[in-house]
Amino acid sequence: MIPKLDKLDYSILINIQNNAKITNLQLSETIGLSPASTLERVKRLETQGIIKSYHAQLDRYKLAIHLNLWLQICLHDLAQETIKNFKQALDQLPEVVACYQVVGEVDFLLSVLTTDMIAYQNILVNKLSGIKSIKSIKTMIVLSTLKETGIPIIPLGHF
């Protein structure tokens, strides 16, 4: 069931997503609500699981993570046990920052971040190639990022 949210809830979500370090006082002033009411709404959004966690956005280049790759993965089969084992193997690879099961010519899309091609070659040869369920891997190198945002906060219905 989708929780009912109003204009103030959406405003809270937008502000927190843009700045997870915003204080309750700053947030309350921004949305025009008392600090106590603002805190109550934030706690409700957390309890409902809409706000799952708070994160810092890191500059990957300053951490020498210069290579952004998308991997198209096909498995030998899509049996539940195969997917479970595949996920467990991916959980051991911190360079795999996201994995999506998709419909189409491939089974999964993996987002991989690493330092350079030598590091990626090591991941490919020494880690991914050891996952028995993988049938094929196609690699795409991201040249540049034109847009990257958080989740779009689109109010449902009209206010």
* pLDDT tens digit sequence for 6-29: 999 999 999 999 999 999 999 999
Q: Could you tell me which CATH number the domain at 61-141 has?
A: 3.30.70.920
Q: Find, among 38, 46, 44, 48, the residue nearest to 12 by Cα.
A: 38
> For the whole model, what pTM was predicted?
0.84
* pLDDT tens digit sequence for 123-157: 999 999 999 999 999 999 999 999 988 888 887 65
Residue 113 pLDDT exceeds 80: yes
Residue 99 pLDDT exceeds 80: yes
* pLDDT tens digit sequence for 69-97: 999 999 999 999 999 999 999 999 999 99
Share of the chain above pLDDT 70, in %: 97
pLDDT at 101: 98
Q: What is the DSSP string of 61-123?
A: GGGT--EEEEEEEEES---HHHHHHHHHHHTT-TTEEEEEE-SSSSSEEEEEEES-HHHHHHI
The whole-angstrom separation of Cα 60 and Cα 67 is 9
Work out the burial of residue 73: count CB atoms within 10 Å of its CB; fewer than 13 is exposed, 13-18 middle, 19 or more buried: buried
Q: Given pLDDT bands bounded at 50, 70 and 90, which one contains residue 46? A: very high
Which residues are CB-contacts of 22 (< 8 A; sequence separation ≥ 6)?
Answer: 15, 16, 30
Q: Could you tell me which CATH number the domain at 7-47 has?
A: 1.10.10.10
pLDDT at 157: 57
Delimit the domains of the chain by residue range.
7-47, 61-141
Amino acid making up residue 27: L
Residue 110 pLDDT exceeds 90: yes
Cα distances (angstroms) measured from residue 112 to each of 24, 26, 38, 63, 80 = 35, 36, 38, 15, 24
Residue 159 pLDDT exceeds 60: no
